[in-house]
């Protein structure tokens, strides 16, 4: 069965510091990975997906099949990055999503 | 962008009663809608997948007779929690996905907080 692991419940960094939110997955098929973000009092929204290979709000994530990882990175954290981040794995023809437990990112001044 | 609404945003009901939650795609046709459940400080757990005009597919461990899902149109899906009990208290979130060509991205609703007393 598929699984997504986010080892850190809370990550606190200072403004301007680099950020890395870890995500590991287990899935026997070909994975499609996503990062979703939830800002305070807002709904869940897509941040980026690995197939797009794009940078959104300065965030990037590279799929490493050898390490089964999809870590989210940003070189310089901003205060507005403070939010809950969920890593998700899409499986099956119906594109069902399996979510990790989430990491709360707190960017301090 | 694509918007998904949920109604109500919160509801309190007595044990034994039924509660209906609506999920609507406001500006696109959603061929597939998903229902999730989220407990405090925990992740989203997929409950079921519903395709317009067909029966919902439930995840293992989810009682289909307790959580009735109807996806009668391309813009509306409903989740009815029947004979609710306090352990059904949770945050219920729906998402909607358009058809082929829409990128298959899921758009999430704001969630519905259900409290069963």
Which residues make Cβ contacts (< 8 Å) with residue B64, sequence separation at least 6?
B48, B56, B58
Percentage of chain B modeled with pLDDT above 70 = 94
- d(CA A62, CA B51) in angstroms, rounded, equals 32
* pLDDT tens by residue, B19-66: 999 999 998 888 899 999 998 878 899 999 998 888 899 999 999 999
The reported pLDDT for the residue numbered A94 is 61
CB contact (8 A) between residue A98 and residue B106: no
E strand or H helix at A31, and its extent?
none
CA distance A46 to chain B (A): 8
User: Does B60 contact A at CB distance below 8 Å?
Assistant: no
CA distance B17 to chain A (A): 28
Residue B101: pLDDT above 60?
A: no
User: Does B57 contact A at CB distance below 8 Å?
Assistant: yes
Intervals of chain A under pLDDT 50: none
> Shortest CB distance from B43 goes to which of A42, A94, A100?
A100
CB contact (8 A) between residue B43 and residue A99: yes
Give the C-alpha distances (Å, rounded to integers) separating B5 from A90, B2, B21, B63, B108.
23, 10, 11, 25, 8
* pLDDT tens by residue, B66-75: 999 998 888 9
Chain A / chain B CB contacts < 8 angstroms: 38
With bands split at pLDDT 50, 70 and 90, how would you rate the model's confidence at B91?
Answer: very high
Angle at A58 between CA A52 and CA A61, to 5 degrees: 45
The reported pLDDT for the residue numbered B45 is 93
Residue B90: pLDDT above 80?
A: yes
The reported pLDDT for the residue numbered B104 is 67
Residue B102: pLDDT above 90?
A: no
The reported pLDDT for the residue numbered B100 is 56
């Amino acid at each position: 069965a598929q699984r997504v692991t986010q080892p850190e419940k809370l990550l606190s960094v200072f403004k301007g510091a680099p950020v890395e939110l870890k995500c590991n997955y287990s899935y026997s098929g070909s994975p499609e990975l996503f990062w979703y973000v939830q800002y305070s009092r807002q709904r869940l929204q897509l941040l980026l997906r690995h197939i797009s290979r794009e940078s959104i709000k300065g965030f990037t994530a590279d799929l490493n099949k050898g390490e089964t990882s999809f870590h989210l990175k940003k070189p310089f954290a901003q205060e507005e990055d403070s939010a809950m981040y969920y890593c998700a794995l899409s499986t099956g023809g119906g594109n069902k999503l399996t979510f990790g437990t989430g990491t709360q990112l707190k960017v301090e001044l | 962008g694509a918007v998904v609404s949920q109604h109500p945003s919160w509801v309190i009901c007595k044990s034994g009663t039924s509660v209906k939650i609506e999920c609507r795609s406001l500006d696109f046709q959603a061929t597939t809608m998903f229902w999730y459940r989220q407990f405090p400080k925990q992740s989203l757990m997929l409950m079921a997948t519903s395709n317009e005009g067909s029966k919902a597919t439930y995840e293992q461990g989810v009682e289909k007779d307790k959580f009735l899902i109807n996806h009668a149109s391309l813009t509306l899906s409903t989740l009815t929690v029947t004979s609710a009990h306090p352990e059904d208290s949770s945050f219920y979130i729906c998402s909607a996905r358009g058809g082929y060509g829409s990128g298959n991205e899921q758009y999430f609703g704001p969630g519905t907080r259900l409290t069963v007393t």
